[in-house]
Amino acid sequence: MTDYTFRPARDEDYDSLFALHEATMRPAIEATWGWNDAWQEEYFRRKFDKSNRQIIQVGGQDAGVLVVEDRETELYLGLIELGPDYQGRGIGTDIVRKLQERAAATHRPLTLHVLKANAAACGFYERLGFQATDDEGFRYKMTWLPRP
C-alpha cells in the first residue's frame, strides 16, 4: 500500500479537481445520462466547496479527493476519487477501511451513493462489506454496518 496524506482543498485546485472528476467519472456518467461538457462544468462549479474537500496526496503529488460528512446518524462518504495512476495501490481501500473504523467507534453506519453504471466502484464497495440498501433508479445507496 502506498503512503498518502491529506491537505485542505484550495480555490486553485478547481481545474485539477474537475479534470480528476472527468477522468474518473466520465464513463459512468456517459452511460447514465450522457456527458455534456457545458452541463458538467456548470454543475461542478455550483457544487464545488473547498471547505469540505480534502486533497489526497501521494509523494507530495495530488492524487485524489475525499469528501466525508459527519452526520448525526451516519458517517457519509460523499466523494472519493483517485486519479487513474493511483488506483489499484490500496489507497482507496485503506481510506475506506479507516472510515469504517471511525464509523464503528461511534456506532454509526458508513453510507455512500454510487452510480449503477460504475460497476468497478460497486464491486469495490461490495468487497469492503457494503450492501445496496436502497435502489434510487440510477444509483444505489450503499451501507456498511459496524458489528455489534
Confidence band, pLDDT 50/70/90 cuts, at residue 97 = very high
Q: Position 139: which residue type?
A: R
Supply φ then ψ for residue 72, to 5 degrees: -60, -40
Q: What pLDDT does 35 receive?
A: 96
Q: What is residue 18's three-state secondary structure?
A: helix
Fold of 5-144: Aminopeptidase (3.40.630)
Q: What pLDDT does 1 receive?
A: 65
81 or 1, greater pLDDT: 81
